[in-house]
Amino acid sequence: MKDFQYLAPRKLDEAAALMDAHGGSAQLLAGGTDLLIFMRNGRKSPDVIIDAKKIPELTRLQLDDEQLTIGAAVSCRTVWEHPEISERFPALTDAATLIGGIQIQGRATFGGNLCNAAPSADTVPPVIVYGATAHIVSSRGERQAPVEEICTGPGSTSLAADEILVSLTVPRPRANSGAAFLRFIPRNEMDIAVANAAARVDLDEAGETFESARIAIGAVAPVPLFVEAAGAALSGKPVNDESIAEAARIARDAATPINDMRGTIEHRKQLVEVLTARALRRAIARAGGGTRGQT
Amino acid sequence: MSDASPKNGFNVVGTSPIRPDGLDKVTGRAQFADDFHLPNMLHGKILRSPHAHARIVSIDTSAAEALPGVRAVVTGADFPAVRHELLNLGTAGVLNIREMSENCMAKDKVLYDGHAVAAVAADNPHDAELAMNLIKVEYELLPPVMNVRAAMADDAPVVHENFHPGGFIAPTEKYLPNASRVQLGNGDPEQGFAEADLVLEREYTAETIHQGYIESHVTTVTWDSNDYVTVWTATQGQFALRDHLADIIQVPISNINVVPLEIGGGFGGKERLYIDPVAAFLSKKSQCPVKIAMRRDEVFRATGPSSGTFIKLKFGVKRDGTLTAAHLHMAYEAGAYAGGPLFLGIMSATSRYNIPNIHIDGFDVIVNKPTMRPYRAPGAPQALFAVEQMIDELAHELGMDPIDFRMQNLMRTGDRLVPGFPLAPIDTEKMMETVKAHPHYQAPLEGANRGRGLAYSIWFNIGEISSARMQVNPDGSVTLATASPDLSGTRISLAMQAAEALGIDVEQVSPTVSDTQSIGFSLPSVGSRTTYSTGAIVCEVAQEILKQMCERAALLWETDAADVSVEHGVFSNKTEPGQSITFNELAARMFETGGPISHHRTGHTQSFIPGTAVHLVDVEVDPDTGKVDILRYTIFQDVGKAVHPDYVEGQMQGAAVQGIGMALNEEYFYDDEGRLKNASLLDYRLPTSLDVPMLETVVLETPNPAHPFGVRGCGEISIAPPPAAIANAIHDAVGVRLNSMPMAPHKVCAAVNAAKPAKAA
């Protein structure tokens, strides 16, 4: 590991100024569960580490009547320990409790997971289906972007070298809404997704018809993939096996996986269809609807 | 659970006292190799080849040598030409010292991704790593060969211009540019197949796997001004390490002392040296002690894994279930240098069934991977994955119960093994009957996609040479030293045998593992031999101690030693009823009766002691994802005599966990250029605690006549049956045969999908 300088600003504008000054040679450190490994194996060798965990805006976790705000440096464990978040946003908890073991969950963050931009990132499909917005700051100003526009390829994002992801805001789901996240790993713990899928459904009051839905899949494309067409196909459709199967098929067709040590193309495409269908069933059950669709 | 009550005449053997090293291990105080430090110690780092097969054109170390804090740099040029290329080990075959040296540091060619090409010693690990990255190596790339079938193909790239066949017990000949061949057999297979009513031919493959010990390889070496060399490391065999090191660094064996520290797992992977000669030469050049600690990726890339295999079987059977003939084509990866676990794979393939007409064609195949080394029952899991699936398939085709089919062809005590010698005493029939009567075998298995499978194994203990020293102290305590590194609780199992033989409490015996200058030679802790073989020598030493103590009592009583008897630690005068003295009282009077009481012995025990195991498993398969979940698992194992039942159970379960890991997920994953892509614990996919259910154990005890208490080594065998047992259970669950190990979800899925149209038709 190369020598580096460690900086821990306590204010967001200070952090933005440091990012501006050091440009591409600086790396923001949240939980470090990816960054430290990359520094050890030589994949990244920053001159400057800027710790995000002393900046109030990045460590804030707040649920109000409108939305949930997750600071970019809030740990997965802080999220899943929050009882109301688990109740209102179960797909976030599905993902936050799956990443690594207890120690990793205490360090790893939603913001870090997004900015690390792994195609297999487990927290990204859930925030996509919840319609989250990313809040970004630099010394040049602030901007917002839909969360599905952040990752642009394996390890790369739409953030400029001087930009800081401050937080994600997630709108509160309405009534008769449910969501779920599932991943497939060959082991039962401590593994990287071969494929994953998140689904959110908004049902009518009777729980028999989809009013809208969002589906996102992971580890089957260069980025965690928002499959808009799969959700759109469910709008106005009855909650039944046929609708679910059709949406799952669209998700499968959207997948463009690769063969690697973690899985094969054929298996990943099958998994994404199976997981999408299963996530939809679980989401429907959580929305209190569709007895025929329940798992 | 500790059970202090005597059983079957034993007082100590059969109880479960706490091991002396346990508390320090769970509290983090135990001294492992990386906890060892010396003043002025330097840190070494090794530069490794990123290529699987290449010629080294040049190495430029000047920039590394110029870096402040760097004290020494070595390359293959610092490793002297060996004095004798081949070392004859008698029955254990031949050892190629030149290749062993070049495996530690490449000279002209690199033969696998991770092959060492240069090393640096610096004041701290950070400087050593910076310097290592400044070394420039120019390579001329050569095409790699990455599996046995590619290496045996007509146009295969040749790894070595010339090589000596690896050392095997049976005659081995050079057969192809990358392969040696061993052939064994009996009867007339052609005639046997003609007599068969059913003949099946099947092919099976397995991928390269690693032992996955928690502790990586770490060594600290000093080379002093008198050419005395001291090594502090974790090893399964301090004497093997010493002797091999002497050959490579070319100092007299007597100048070397190897001090074995606590070992964090070996499973066969720590009986060969990798970094010790490198640290030795760095120490010689820098005149300072040098420590080298491998990172995890180095362990995967550059230490000895176990072979990937290609096995082709043809078995013939009569309608009544009698096996008539078998042909086995068994190709095992040797890795970069000849001499992999092929022969042990051959020995384990059919050594439990009587097959009158059999031919085994074995191939030891050189590929551009690290040199294959033993891994717990080396070669057996791969062989059983093939043969026990074949047996299951034959039973299925004949409509026979899998146990009845095995019973019909069962090898019993005295039956001839394929290499010609008879099976040493063991009750194979009782094993089968125990399984058949067990509630797990009898329990109905209900539910979709659920299935049950079993596999049966015989595996042999190595005996041979062990050493032990015992010293009785004036306070009645006994110091027990052996040359057998403690991988698995053998210090307590040896102390228990000493206490049993001496008739004293186990708490009175303090067991230690000695360095090479403090005790006689011993074979390493391999081949399920320590509790059995070293245990037998410990018992012999105890008998000598008791004999000496009887003589001391005789002196006190002014009688003949033949008149003194000893039982349960009390010495009695047979000619004077009522005259007796306890072990402790007699020890306290040793200086009145001639001084210290001690004995050292280097002795020999019998090899090829069989153990048996059957694993029975219920699985549930998710046909949509290919995931296999284990619902219930029972291990039946004959251990001769369980010295420490809790630790015996631990060995059975630990071995099964490793077998389950290789069955379902573990494999080396190389890219097309021969680079290892999953050299991490994240992607190598060892099983976690959530991947294995409770493993029930059933211990059988058929005494081993070659050991005074009937002990058989129990550490290895239970790694062998899991892949086959799980494969058979998967077939029972979803009707497909998995002929490729690991049975990863994508393979299960593909097999289930491939079977679908056939089902519909």
ipTM of the complex: 0.95
CATH number at residue A92: 3.30.465.10
Task: State yes or no: pLDDT of B74 exceeds 60.
Answer: yes
Same domain, B599 and B472: yes
A267 in contact with B, Cβ within 8 Å: yes
Do residues A241 and A210 share a domain? yes
CA distance A178 to A284: 6
Beta-carbon pairs below 8 A across chains A and B: 58
Q: Is residue A294 part of a domain?
A: no
Distance from CA of B494 to the nearest CA of A (A): 37
Residue of B56 and A42 predicted with greater confidence: B56
Residue A17 in domain: yes
Chain B residue with CA closest to A268: the answer is B746
Nearest to B661 by CA among B743, B542, B728: B743
Judge whether B378 lies within some domain: no
CB contact, 8 Å: A264 with chain B?
Answer: yes
- Please, what is the angle between helix A265-286 and helix A241-254, to 10°? 140
Q: Is B269 a domain residue?
A: no
Q: Are both A141 and A235 inside the same structural domain?
A: no
Same domain, A164 and A228: no
Residue B115 lies in a domain: no
Helix, strand or coil for residue A89?
coil
Exposed, middle or buried: residue B598 (CB in 10 Å: 0-12, 13-18, 19+)? middle
Indicate whether B623 and B750 sit together in one domain: yes
Residue that finishes a domain, picked among B576, B605, B634: B605
> Contact A194/B745, CB-based, under 8 Å?
yes
B4 — pLDDT class (breaks 50, 70, 90): very low
Residues B660 and B756 in one domain: yes
Q: Measuring CA to CA, which residue among B206, B123, B140 is closest to residue B375?
A: B206
Question: What token pair was written down for B368?
Answer: 């551009």
B548 shares its domain with B656: no
What pLDDT shows up at residue B60?
98
CB within 8 Å of B346: residues ≥ 6 apart: B170, B182, B184, B328, B330, B360, B362, B379, B383, B418
Interchain proximity B688–A188, CB inside 8 Å: yes
Same structural domain, B587 and B496: yes
Mean pLDDT over residues A106-116, rounded? 97
Say how many CA atoms lie within 13 Å of A211 toward its Cβ: 13
Residue ranges making up the domain that contains A95: 5-49+59-171
B750/A41 touch (CB, cutoff 8 Å), yes or no: no
Single residue among A153, A171, A189 that ends a domain in this structure: A171
pLDDT at B166: 76
Q: Measured between CA atoms, how close is B454 to chain A, in angstroms? A: 22
**Residue B503 shares a structural domain with residue B557:** yes
pLDDT at A294 over 60: no
Give which of A24, A26, A23, A25 is closest to A8, Cα–Cα: A26
pLDDT at position B87: 82
Residue A193 at interface with chain B, using a CB cutoff of 8 Å: no
Residues of A in contact with B690 (CB under 8 A): 187-189
Q: Is the pLDDT of residue B527 over 80?
A: yes
Indicate whether B515 pLDDT > 90.
yes
pLDDT over 70 (residue B758): no
* Helix locations, B261-358, DSSP H: 276-286, 296-302, 342-350
Same domain for A27 and A140, yes or no, is yes
> Touching check for A187 and chain B: CB below 8 Å?
yes
Same structural domain for residues B425 and B543? no
User: Residue A243: which CATH number?
Assistant: 3.30.390.50
Question: What is the pLDDT confidence band of residue B756, given thresholds at 50, 70 and 90?
Answer: confident
How many angstroms away from the CA of B540 is the closest CA of chain A?
48
Among B130, B690, B745, whose Cβ lies nearest the Cβ of A189?
B690
CA distance A177 to chain B (A): 27
A160 and A189: one domain? no
Identify from A36, A39, A262 which residue to disrupt to test chain B contact, counting B C-beta atoms within 10 A and taking the largest count. A262
Q: How many domains does chain B contain in total?
A: 2
Same domain, A83 and A100: yes
Q: Quick one: which H or E segment has residue B491?
A: helix B490-502
pLDDT in tens, B112-146: 999 999 999 999 999 999 999 999 999 999 999 99
- A265 with A205, same domain: the answer is yes
- Domain assignment present for residue B524? The answer is yes
Residue B746 to residue A1, Cβ atoms within 8 A: no
The reply to whether A15 and A159 lie within a common domain is yes
Residue A24 is predicted with a pLDDT of: 85
Q: Is A54 part of any domain?
A: no
In this complex, is the C-beta atom of A81 within 8 Å of any C-beta atom belonging to chain B? no
pLDDT digits (tens, 9 = 90+) for B642-692: 999 999 999 999 999 999 999 999 999 999 999 999 999 999 999 999 999
Tens-digit pLDDT profile for residues B716-743: 999 999 999 999 999 999 999 999 999 9
CATH at residue B521: 3.30.365.10
> Is the pLDDT at A222 greater than 70, yes or no?
yes
Does residue A34 carry a pLDDT above 90? yes
Give backbone dihedrals phi and psi of B457, rounded to 5 degrees, phi first: -140, 145
- A216 in the same domain as A145: no
Same domain, B597 and B613: no
Note whether residue B744 is domain-resident. Answer: yes
Interface of B with A in 89-128 (CB under 8 A): 126
B611 and B742 within one domain: yes
Give domain status of residue B357, yes or no. no
- Domain ranges, residue B593: 463-605
Domain co-membership, A108 together with A233: no
Tell me: do A118 and A183 sit in the same domain. Answer: no
Q: Would residue B454 count as lying in a domain?
A: yes
Mutate to test the interface with A, among B685, B690, B743, B756 (most CBs of A within 10 A): B685
- Closest-approach residue (CA) in chain A for B661: A187
Q: What is the domain count for chain A? A: 2
* pLDDT-based confidence at residue A239 (cuts at 50, 70, 90): very high
Q: What is the pLDDT of residue B97?
A: 93
Q: Are A104 and A97 in contact (CB under 8 A)?
A: no
| B449 and B472 co-located in one domain | no
User: How far is Cα of residue A43 from the mean position of the Cα atoms in its chain?
Assistant: 23
The pLDDT mean for chain B works out to 96
Asked if residue B686 and residue B560 are part of one domain, the reply reads: no
With bands split at pLDDT 50, 70 and 90, how would you rate the model's confidence at B99?
A: very high
Work out the minimum CA distance from A64 to partner chain B, whole angstroms: 37
Domain boundary among B605, B624, B648: B605
Q: What is the per-residue pLDDT for B759?
A: 46
**Residue pLDDT, tens place only, B32-71:** 999 999 999 999 999 999 999 999 999 999 999 999 999 9
Q: Is B744 an 8 Å CB contact of chain A?
A: yes
Cβ–Cβ gap B627/A267 under 8 Å? no
pLDDT digits (tens, 9 = 90+) for B164-219: 887 666 778 999 999 999 999 999 999 999 999 999 999 999 999 999 999 999 99
Asked if A261 lies within 8 A of B677 by C-beta distance, the reply is: yes
Residue B88 confidence (pLDDT)? 78
Asked if B330 contacts B345 with a C-beta cutoff of 8 angstroms, the reply is yes
Q: Are residues A151 and A196 in the same domain?
A: no
Tokens of A233: 């196909």
pLDDT confidence band for B27 (50 / 70 / 90): very high
Mutation pick from A39, A270, A276, A278 vs chain B, by most beta carbons of B within 10 Å, is A270
Q: Are B383 and B362 in contact (CB under 8 A)?
A: no
Contact B621, B734 (CB under 8 A): yes
Cβ <8 Å between B297 and A262 = no
Asked if the Cβ–Cβ distance from B688 to A190 is below 8 Å, we say yes
Identify all chain B residues contacting A190, using CB atoms and an 8 Å cutoff.
Answer: 682, 688
* Domain-located, residue A167: yes
Across the range B416-433, mean pLDDT stands at 96
**CB-CB neighbors (< 8 A) of B669 in chain A:** 261
Which of B572, B605, B638 is the endpoint of a domain?
A: B605
Q: Tell me the chain A residues in contact with residue B750 when contact means C-beta distances shorter than 8 Å.
A: 266-267
B690/A188 Cβ within 8 A: yes
Neighboring chain B residues of A264 at a CB cutoff of 8 Å: 746
Q: Which residue did the predictor score with more confidence, B88 or B372?
A: B372
Domain boundary, last residue among A124, A155, A171 = A171
Instruction: State whether B601 and B483 are in the same domain.
Output: yes
Tell me, yes or no, whether B518 lies in a domain.
yes
Alpha carbon distance B416, B399 (integer Å): 28
- Is residue A292 a part of any domain in this protein? no
* 3-state SS track over B102-128: HHHCCCCEECCCCCEEEEEEECCHHHH
Q: Which residue has the tokens 């002014």?
A: B558
Split at pLDDT 50, 70, 90, the class of B6 is: very low
In sequence order, the β-bridge partners of residue B293 are B218
Residue A163 lies in a domain: yes
| pLDDT tens-digit series, residues A165-209 | 999 999 999 999 999 999 999 999 889 999 999 999 999 999 999
Q: Quote the strand ranges of B477-533, DSSP E.
A: 478-482, 509-513
Kindly identify which residue of chain A lies nearest to residue B675, measuring between CA atoms.
Answer: A261
What's the DSSP call for residue B714?
Answer: -
Please report, rounded to a whole number, the percentage of residues in chain B having pLDDT higher than 90.
94
Residue A189 is predicted with a pLDDT of 87
Strands B695-700, B628-638: parallel, antiparallel or unpaired by DSSP? parallel
CA distance to partner chain A, nearest, from residue B22 (Å): 25
Cβ pair B627:A186 closer than 8 A: yes
User: Domain boundary residue among A113, A141, A171?
Assistant: A171
